[in-house]
Each structure stands twice: as C-alpha cells, then as structure tokens.
C-alpha cells in the first residue's frame, strides 16, 4: 500500500499540510526522539521501480528516493528541509507523467491527488512550463487532500509555484548518455534564484539510467492503457473529439457510454469519466484516451491561470534597533506579516539581526533587525502598507528597504 493507514490519518489532520508545506503559521511540532513522527509513502510505476518519500514531520525533513531492480537500495534523488535542501529533482512534465502511471497501477492514488500534492515540492519549473496547464492540476490535488477554497487559485498553489519557479534563471537541460536529462545553472551571478539539484551533468549521485527507465515505464503504462482496438473506431474517435473542446465536459457521459461497449479500457480511465472527483481528473483521462499532449485539454478547459500574469517583488527590510528594544522590531515585522497576509499582498519574515560593539565597555548590542518581504501583484499598495506600519512604530525614518535581487537597488518608503 503506497499510503499506509497511519500516514493517511495524519494527512487528514489540519496541521499536517501546514507543517509539510513549511507554512509560516504551522504549529511547532513537539519533537521526541523516542516517538519521532515519521512516515513512508511508495509510488510504484512497475515492479520494483518507483519513488519512495520519507517524511519526518517532527524535524521537517523530507527525502525522495528512487528504487529500481538494479539498485541495491533506494537512492536519494532529492531532499527538502529548511537548511541545506536539494529539492530540484524533476520537471513538472515528469511528475505529471509519473502520477498518471501510478494512478493506473493503484486505483487508490487518484490523479490529481495525493501523489501530486506530496511530490510537487521536488519539481523545478522553467520556461517550458505553462501555468495554464499546471495550476488547475495542483489546485485539484490540494482540494482533494486539504480543506480550503473550492474554486480558483489555491494559496498553497501560488506559494509552491513561486518557490519552484526558476523561469528566467538560466537553467540548461542537456541529455546524458543514458537518455536522461541533466540540469545546470551556468551563470550564478546574474540569477535571482539558485538551483539546488543532484541532477547535475556528470553527477555520480544521481541515478540517471534508473530515472530514464522510470520515465520509460511510465510512458509504456499509458500506452498499454489505451491499446484497445475499439478506441480507434470512428464512433469512439468522434466521441473523444467532442470531449476535446472548451465545453467537452458536457460530452463526458456519451463518451463513458461508448467506453462501456469497448472490448477493454482501463478501469481507472473509465472511472475518471463516470465518477470523477474533479473536472481535472476527467481532463487527463480524455487526454490519455485521445492521445492528446499532456496538459493541452486542461489548458483549454480552464483558460489563463492567475499565475500567468502574476507579479511579485522580493524586498529586504532593515530596521534600526540600537536605541530601542529588539523585541519591538520583531513585533513590527510580525504585524507587517499579518497585515500583508490579510490583504492578500504577500508576507514578511524576520531573517536575523546585526550586532556591533557600542559604548565605553565595547559590549555587543543589536543595531538592526532584517526581514524578507514578499509583495504580490500590487507593489504601490504593498509599499503603502509597509509605510503605514513603520510609521505606526515610529521606525520609518531609520528603516531601509531594498530589492532582494541584484543590484539590490533602494526602494523609497512612501
């Protein structure tokens, strides 16, 4: 069983996803070495070939490993924590492919669903990734596993997309001798986000041959699921083509009826059309049955994603604390975070403080506190809110605001 009863029960708890996604308001887990909260989830594409996710919720450490018949033991392909992470393991297209293949093998793992929600943290996005084809699937996966908005862009989806978005950061994918792509970031000096991946060209730590086999077996699983000759009849192709439109969801019932008369169609695909948990689930089923490019129907069915035109600005805020208690700066930043979050404008997080020797004794004292600030979509409104809170705390005259990206230009505080 890929998700055992203990993990399934834990995922249903309201605090699990806040902790797993490193959300700012996640409760601090009570860590007890004798009763560590750790789980394991397996996602098999073929016998002995798949991915294993180890979750240590208490410490916030999550490890993804690849299993293959030729490997003596699972090999780590990525990990994520809040310290020395290397989460950039796979492309979105690879995760989508693997999740479809696993859903065909294990009916309990519907797609989009738990696998996508759990493993999306190991994706790296680049210029080839289209938000229109991606965000509806992520929204649907999160709706299945976590209570929240029933429509529209999920906050978790936006957080994830921005965190894994390395478009414009100079990623370069090159083919290895095993037919598997490797990724690198040649120019580190001119990028806003760094790549952290074991999948570098020439890396001895990444199992390129086994990863290529994993993807190949996933592709073959989809081919086998649609190999029935009856899927090629004129009547069936006509039924499929009617579903391949903007209003295709209205034609799912006739397609499902036609599939009932076919000599054999994979039951998971039939269920996705007759009893879909979400419209996104029926989309991937139609794409698979009709041989459409993955994500093409999702893109057409849902239209432009809010992430397609979304903007965000990463800022660094420095607050002088030399003549006032450092606790006041922490309270200010906490208040700023709450205000930004309430207005849907972003977030703020304290990152540290600077100390210097002052006075005749030369004792160390805090002279400033710093925070990372994220403003989304409306920079002037976000700056206005920052200004209001700084002035409320009588800190605007000594505060400094800069862009986080080079050349780290100063930002005037209104």
At residue 118, what are phi and psi to the nearest 5 degrees? -80, -40
Widest Cα–Cα separation across the chain? 91
Q: Which residues contact 305 (CB under 8 A, 6 or more apart)?
A: 131, 132, 134, 135, 136, 153
Kindly give the confidence (pLDDT) of every residue in the chain, 414 residues in length, as a single tens digit, with 9 standing for 90 and above: 578 889 999 999 878 999 999 987 666 555 444 456 789 999 999 999 999 999 999 899 999 999 999 999 999 999 999 889 999 999 999 999 999 999 999 999 999 999 999 999 999 999 999 999 999 999 999 999 998 877 888 999 999 999 999 998 999 999 998 889 999 998 877 677 899 999 999 999 999 999 999 999 999 999 999 888 888 888 888 888 998 887 788 888 888 888 877 777 899 999 999 999 999 999 999 999 999 999 999 999 999 999 988 889 999 999 887 666 667 888 999 999 999 999 989 999 888 777 554 555 555 556 788 999 999 999 999 999 999 999 999 889 889 999 988 778 999 999
CATH number of 312-403: 3.30.70.360
- For 300, counting Cβ atoms within 10 Å of its Cβ (0-12 exposed, 13-18 middle, 19+ buried), the class is middle
How many degrees, rounded to 5, is the angle at CA 88 between CA 83 and CA 91? 160
Tell me the whole-structure pTM to 2 decimals: 0.89
Q: Where are the domains of the chain?
A: 5-222, 224-302, 312-403
pLDDT value at position 28? 58
The residue written with tokens 């991937």 in the block is: 284
Under a CB-based contact definition with an 8 Å cutoff, are residues 135 and 151 in contact?
Answer: no
Ranges of H-type helices in 229-311: 234-243, 252-260, 267-274, 279-290, 296-302
What is the spatial distance between Cα 157 and Cα 307, in angstroms, rounded to a whole number?
9
What is the spatial distance between Cα 247 and Cα 250, in angstroms, rounded to a whole number?
6
pLDDT value at position 321? 79
Query: CA separation (Å) from 72 to 48, 66, 68, 69, 383?
Result: 11, 11, 8, 8, 55
């Amino acid at each position: 069983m890929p998700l055992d009863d203990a993990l399934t029960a834990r995922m249903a708890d309201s605090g699990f996803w806040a902790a797993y996604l490193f959300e700012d308001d996640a409760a601090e887990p009570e860590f007890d070495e004798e009763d560590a909260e750790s789980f394991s989830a397996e996602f098999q594409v073929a016998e002995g070939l798949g991915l294993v996710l180890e979750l240590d919720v208490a410490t916030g450490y999550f490890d993804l490993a690849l299993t293959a018949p030729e490997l003596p033991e699972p090999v780590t392909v990525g990990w994520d924590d809040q310290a020395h992470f290397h989460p950039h393991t796979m492309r979105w297209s690879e995760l989508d492919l693997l999740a479809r293949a696993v859903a065909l093998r294990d009916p309990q793992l519907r797609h989009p669903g738990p696998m996508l929600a759990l493993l999306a943290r190991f994706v790296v996005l680049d210029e080839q990734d289209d938000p229109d084809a991606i965000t509806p699937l992520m929204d649907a996966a999160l709706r299945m596993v976590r209570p929240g908005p029933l429509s529209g862009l999920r906050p978790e989806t936006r957080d994830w997309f921005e965190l894994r978005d390395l478009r414009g950061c100079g990623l370069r994918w090159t083919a290895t001798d095993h037919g598997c792509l490797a990724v690198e970031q040649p120019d580190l000096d001119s990028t806003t986000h760094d790549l952290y991946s074991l999948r570098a060209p020439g890396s001895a730590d990444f199992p390129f041959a086994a990863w290529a086999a994993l993807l190949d077996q996933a592709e073959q699983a989809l081919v086998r699921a649609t190999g029935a000759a009856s899927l090629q009849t004129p009547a069936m192709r006509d039924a499929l083509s009617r579903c391949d439109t903007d209003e295709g969801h209205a034609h799912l019932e006739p397609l499902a009826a036609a599939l009932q008369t076919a000599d054999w169609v994979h039951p998971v695909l039939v269920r996705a059309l007759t009893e879909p948990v979400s419209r996104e689930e029926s989309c991937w089923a139609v794409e698979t049955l009709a041989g459409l490019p993955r994500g093409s129907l999702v893109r057409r069915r849902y239209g432009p994603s809010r992430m397609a035109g979304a903007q965000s600005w990463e800022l660094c805020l420095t607050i002088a604390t030399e003549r006032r208690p450092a606790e006041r700066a922490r309270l200010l930043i906490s208040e700023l975070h709450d205000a930004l979050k309430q207005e849907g404008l972003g977030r703020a997080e304290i990152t540290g403080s600077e100390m210097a020797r002052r006075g005749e004794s030369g004792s160390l004292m805090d002279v400033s506190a710093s925070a990372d600030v994220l403003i989304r979509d409306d920079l002037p409104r976000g700056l206005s809110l920052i200004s209001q809170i700084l002035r409320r705390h009588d800190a605007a005259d000594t505060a400094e605001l800069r862009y986080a990206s080079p050349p780290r230009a100063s930002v005037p505080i209104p």
